[in-house]
Structure 1
C-alpha cells in the first residue's frame, strides 16, 4: 500500500433529505482527500465509505457510523489473511466486522468476517470483544485494520426537560458545530440566538467553549434548565440582544429567528448579520428563507451551502467568512 494514500476509512449513512448536509460535513471534517464509495444498502439513504488522512472521532458526526485505520490493503483476500495471521496474539479477545457500507451482500460480508477471523491468533468473542478489526471490500480492493464504532450516546439528549417543537434537532445541532469548528480544541463559539440551547449543549459535549444569548426570557430560562440537566454550565447563557453584543469569537452558529406564520423583515435580518460579522470572522448561518444577498451586504462571503428538509420545513445552511 502506498504510504501517501489515506489511511482511514470512514463509514457514513444519511437519509436522503440530509444527504447535502452529510456531504458538506464530511468535506469539512475529512477534507478533500480520498474518494467516496457507495454502500451496499441504499433504499432511501445515502451510504458509503470516505477515505481520509484526517484522524477524526466518528462520534462527533451524526452521519459517521465508524472508522477503520487501514493496516493492510490488497486486491487479494489471501494477502489480507496472511497479514492477519502474522499479527501477534492480543491480550484481549477480538471480533472481525465487515460494515454494511462495504461491497457485497450480507452473506458475502459474513463469510469475509469468518474467513479473516479464522486467521487471527487469539480468542474470538462476538459479543464483548476487547478489540474489533474491520475488513472491507471497496472497488475490488480489500482493506483490514482496527475498527471503532461511533459513540451514539448523544442520542439520549433528544429528550430534554425543556423542548421546543421547531428547535434544531440534536443531530443537526452537532453538524452545525462541526461546520463551525472542524478542529474544536480551545475554540470559543457563540450562539447569539440560542433558543433552548441545543447547539450549546452539543458544542459543550464535544469540548467546545460555548456561549449563548437570546432575547426571549422564556428561552433563556429553558436553555439554562437544559444545560443544567446535562451537567453543563447554565451561566453560559444570558438574556441579551445579539445586536448589542461585544467581543470576538473564533466562530458562531446563528439560527435566524422564525415562526410558521411570519417572515423576518430583510432589514432586521441585515442588522443581525452585521452584528454577527462584528463578533466573528467565521459563521454558520441557518435560515428558513434565502439570505444570500443580506449575508453579502453584512460583509460575509459564502464558502459552502446546503439545504435540509424535514416535513414541510426547509432550512438553508451557509458557511461564511
Structure 2
C-alpha cells in the first residue's frame, strides 16, 4: 500500500502508506437524490461528480450506484511517465487485459484510447485474456491527469432480483441497498432492525453486506414469505419473525422503518404516529421511509432530522429521512 504524492507534475509511489481509489458512479436521473444522500453517509462530504478520488477504501459492491473502483497505482500529467513506472515494476500477470475507462469530464478519442492501452500492456509480462481476464488494468484521463491502476467491477448486488416472493410496492433493490448504507455509514458493527419488513427486501440487502440486521412483520403470511425469501438465498430464516413492532422489547442501533400506508389493509395516520413514537424506544437512530414528508411528526416526538432524499417509482413517491 502506498500514497501518491504530487512532485513536479507527477505522482510517485511511497511504500508503507495508502492507495488512492477512484470510484465511478452511475445512476438514473430519478436516483440522483438518493445516491447523493448515500454518498454523504459513506464519504462524509457532498457529491460533486460521478468520479470520486479518495484515500478511503470502501467496499464498492455495497453500493448499487458504484459502477467500478480503480485502485490507483500511479498518476501523472505525462502519460509516458506511467509507462516508465510500469517498466520499472517488472509486472508479470497471466490472463490480464487493459481497458480505457471513459468518463464524462475529459474526452479521449477512441483510437488514442486504444493506442494508450497497448502501450500500457506492452511492458507487462505474462499473457493477455480479453474475454476472461483474471486482472483488469485500467487507465483514464480526468482533466489533465492520467490515472493507472487495477480495476474492480464485480457487481453481485442484484442477486436478489428474482426472490420467490415480492410485491409491486416493495422498495427497489437499488433503493433498499442505499437505505442500508445510509443506516450503516462505515460502521458494519451497527445493529439494525426493520420492524415492518414486509417480504424482507431491506433485510436481504443488509445481510448481503454482512450487516447485523433482523426483521419483523405483524402479518403472519407476509412474515412467512419473508422467511422463505431468506431461506432461498441461504440465510437464517429465523432472522425474520412475526411481531407487532409496538410490542418489541429489544433495542438496536438503527431502526429502518418503511411505514405502512394502507396499500392492502386500512392503516390510519394515528397508527403511523404510534409506530413513529415506538421507534424512540427501540433505537437511537432512525431511517424513515414514508410516502409523504413527515418532518413535523418527527420533530414532535423529539427527532432531529439529519438528511433527506426523495425517490419516485412512477407516480409513487417515497421520502427517505435520516434522524437522530
Give TM-score scaled by structure 1 length.
0.89
1:59 alignment counterpart: 61
In the alignment of these two chains, the number of paired residues is 309
Q: For residues 185-232 of structure 1, what are the alpha-carbon distances to aligned partners after superposition, in whole Å with 9 as ceiling and x for unaligned?
A: 333110000000011111111111211111111211110111111111
- C-alpha distance in 2 between matches for 1:204 and 1:12: 23
- The answer to whether the Cα contact below 8 Å between 2:102 and 2:140 also exists between their aligned partners in 1 is no
Distance 1:310 1:55, change over 3 A: same
Match of 2:232 among 226, 229, 233: 229
Q: For residues 13-35 of structure 1, what are the alpha-carbon distances to aligned partners after superposition, in whole Å with 9 as ceiling and x for unaligned?
A: 000000111111122222328x7
SS of alignment partner, residue 11 of structure 1: strand
SS of alignment partner, residue 126 of structure 2: coil
Deviation larger for 206-215 or 104-113: 104-113
Distance 1:21 1:111, change over 3 A: farther
1:171: how far off?
1.5
- C-alpha distance in 1 between matches for 2:69 and 2:293: 36
- The answer to whether the Cα contact below 8 Å between 2:87 and 2:123 also exists between their aligned partners in 1 is yes
- The answer to whether the Cα contact below 8 Å between 1:74 and 1:143 also exists between their aligned partners in 2 is yes
Matching of residues 164-179 of structure 1 within 5 Å: 164-179=167-182
1:2 alignment counterpart: 5
1:242: how far off?
1.1
Q: For residues 15-59 of structure 1, what are the alpha-carbon distances to aligned partners after superposition, in whole Å with 9 as ceiling and x for unaligned?
A: 0000111111122222328x744xxxxxxxxxx211122111111
- C-alpha distance in 1 between matches for 2:275 and 2:125: 62
Unaligned residue ranges in structure 1 (runs of 5+): 38-47
- C-alpha distance in 2 between matches for 1:214 and 1:101: 44
Q: For residues 221-258 of structure 1, what are the alpha-carbon distances to aligned partners after superposition, in whole Å with 9 as ceiling and x for unaligned?
A: 11011111111111111111111211221212111112
Match of 1:109 among 89, 104, 113: 113
The answer to whether 1:256 aligns with 2:256 is no
- C-alpha distance in 2 between matches for 1:301 and 1:138: 39
1:267 alignment counterpart: 270
The answer to whether 1:144 aligns with 2:161 is no
- The answer to whether the Cα contact below 8 Å between 1:184 and 1:208 also exists between their aligned partners in 2 is no
Unaligned residue ranges in structure 2 (runs of 5+): 7-16
- The answer to whether the Cα contact below 8 Å between 1:76 and 1:142 also exists between their aligned partners in 2 is yes
- The answer to whether the Cα contact below 8 Å between 2:69 and 2:152 also exists between their aligned partners in 1 is yes
The answer to whether 1:161 aligns with 2:164 is yes
Deviation larger for 86-95 or 154-163: 86-95
- C-alpha distance in 2 between matches for 1:262 and 1:227: 25
RMSD: 2.3
Matching of residues 113-132 of structure 1 within 5 Å: 113-132=117-136
1:214 alignment counterpart: 217
1:263: how far off?
8.6
Of Structure 1 and Structure 2, the greater strand share is in 2
Match of 1:24 among 37, 53, 75: 37
Q: For residues 136-163 of structure 1, what are the alpha-carbon distances to aligned partners after superposition, in whole Å with 9 as ceiling and x for unaligned?
A: 11122111112111x3223231112111
